[in-house]
Amino acid sequence: MSGIALVRKPGPRIAAGIVTNIRRERVDATLAAHQHDAYVAALEANGWRPVHVEAADELPDAPFVEDTVVVCAGLAVLARPGVPERRPEVDSVAALVRRLGVRSVRVTAPGTLDGGDVLQIGGTIYVGRSARTNDEGIGQLAALLPERRVVPVDLRGVLHLKSAVTALPDGTLIGDPARVDLPGLLEPVEEAGAHVVLLGGERILMAASAPQTAAMLQKRGFIVTTVDISEFEKLEGCVTCLSVLII
């Protein structure tokens, strides 16, 4: 499995990004830029072709490109972020998706949908019912993807569904049972261990801040690449937030 990885470079205002569930810390914009370069290089080394969305330096949360679009079954569902100041991020993503020839449609008011709340596993799509994604947005996503089973999921104390749980290549859910009620959860050692990006085959991408979980998953037969994303973690970001993979 390989394809295109949509990414967007962080701008100089990244330290002003929105923080909701954690204490604000100082973010080093220069270090964030270097970490993003290394993240993109890791995707490329695993066969994904990086395609950069137009820079949006005036929008501090813009590198969290996952929140702007959900790609499924050849359709790009352009999100309507739950925080109004993030909605301008979507237009440039929409323009790029059109250039790539991917059919697209937008979530409309009063629906809200953040891509970070959408977890796709085979024919099932779990969608977090969060402060950023409402029932109308979930309903619109379900109507746009009738061939998929869309399952709303309530969250506790996290920004997005994929802040609490993601899926391994074999379909196993890995996540924090204190944050989300889903059956058969494999519990990570570290909080950041709940976040994995599927790179194809048995390969996964994880944050360097979850070394014990990475070791646990390696023992289960997965091939783990780790990247340091400490500056993005200070903004409630994780490895899934920084890209959208299109096969």
What is the pTM assigned to this prediction?
Answer: 0.96
Per DSSP, 1 falls in state -
The contacts of residue 155 (CB under 8 Å, 6+ apart) are 128, 129, 130, 161, 164, 179, 180
pLDDT tens, position by position, 57-73: 999 999 999 999 999 99
Is position 218 within any domain?
Answer: no
Q: Tell me: pLDDT of 23 over 80.
A: yes
Is position 73 within any domain?
Answer: yes
114 is in which domain, residue-wise? Answer: 4-184+231-246
Is position 34 within any domain?
Answer: yes
Is position 163 within any domain?
Answer: yes
Is position 13 within any domain?
Answer: yes
Is position 209 within any domain?
Answer: no
Is position 87 within any domain?
Answer: yes
Find the range with the poorest average confidence among 18-22, 173-177, 210-214: 18-22
The predicted structure's pLDDT at residue 240: 98
One of 36, 160, 195, 238 is an active-site residue; which one? Answer: 160
Which domain CATH number covers 15?
3.75.10.10
One of 36, 195, 238, 241 is an active-site residue; which one? Answer: 241
CA–CA dist 166, 121 (Å, integer): 9
Number of domains forming the structure of the chain: 1
Please, is 63 exposed, middle or buried when counting C-beta atoms within 10 Å of its C-beta (0-12, 13-18, 19+)?
A: buried
The predicted structure's pLDDT at residue 71: 98
Reduced to 3 states, what is the DSSP secondary structure of residue 207? strand
The predicted structure's pLDDT at residue 22: 85
* Confidence tier at 21 by pLDDT (50, 70, 90): confident
Query: Rounded mean pLDDT of the chain?
Result: 97
Determine whether 160 is an active site residue.
yes
Percentage above 90 pLDDT, the chain: 97
Is position 199 within any domain?
Answer: no
Determine whether 241 is an active site residue.
yes
